[in-house]
A and B are shown apart, each in its own frame.
Chain A
């Protein structure tokens, strides 16, 4: 079974802090993704990566950055956390072929106070 592990299930941080969300997958997937999910807005793509050290902006990259130094690990960084970044963050990974689904981690519920 594919396993996508997110470092924290719940996280509380303060405005202005630098926040790191970590994601690790154990299936040698090329592609990795970070989403946020908010009621009424669905899943929105923040950043994705299709190879080590490669990254591309998704639909809502402002206020975020990412790092992929190793194939299995994809980190999301909130440079200076703000209250509007309070959300559920979901990491996913997939193989590169068209018919391969994305596999999701359990999510991190992040609250910025």
Chain B
């Protein structure tokens, strides 16, 4: 079967660094996406990884290890507005032309002052 696992909840302090992990087991692999979703709002795209390594985009970085079926999202210099759910999603085999993604259940991050 296909499965994506993320921690349900995390808490961190303003100004700190937090790492949100995602492990996946899918039929093939054509890329991994991270989304941010504030309460009551639509998910918004954060990052995309298809090759092993780290992709940096401002305060946010995303890492991928295909051999381990593992990714993480790193948030630096946390701000209160980073309180949100973070969704990990994988594009599996046979999804190339359809754009279909498999989503994890999301990690709710609470940033405290």
Tell me the chain A residues, 62-113 only, with Cβ under 8 Å from chain B: 90, 94-96, 98-107
> Count of chain A residues with Cβ under 8 Å from any Cβ of B?
26
Contact assessment for B105 and A42 in the assembled complex, using a CB-CB cutoff below 8 Å: yes
> Count of chain B residues with Cβ under 8 Å from any Cβ of A?
23
Contact assessment for B103 and A101 in the assembled complex, using a CB-CB cutoff below 8 Å: no
Determine the residue in chain B with the shortest Cβ distance to A104: B42
Q: Does B50 contact A (CB under 8 A)?
A: yes
Contact assessment for A101 and B87 in the assembled complex, using a CB-CB cutoff below 8 Å: no
Contact of B105 among A40, A99, A106, A107 (CB under 8 A): A40
Q: Does B44 contact A (CB under 8 A)?
A: yes
Determine the residue in chain B with the shortest Cβ distance to A90: B42
Known: A45-B100, A106-B42. 17 other contacts (CB 8 A): A30-B99, A31-B100, A42-B87, A43-B87, A43-B106, A50-B97, A50-B98, A50-B99, A58-B100, A95-B99, A96-B99, A98-B50, A98-B96, A101-B45, A104-B43, A105-B42, A106-B41
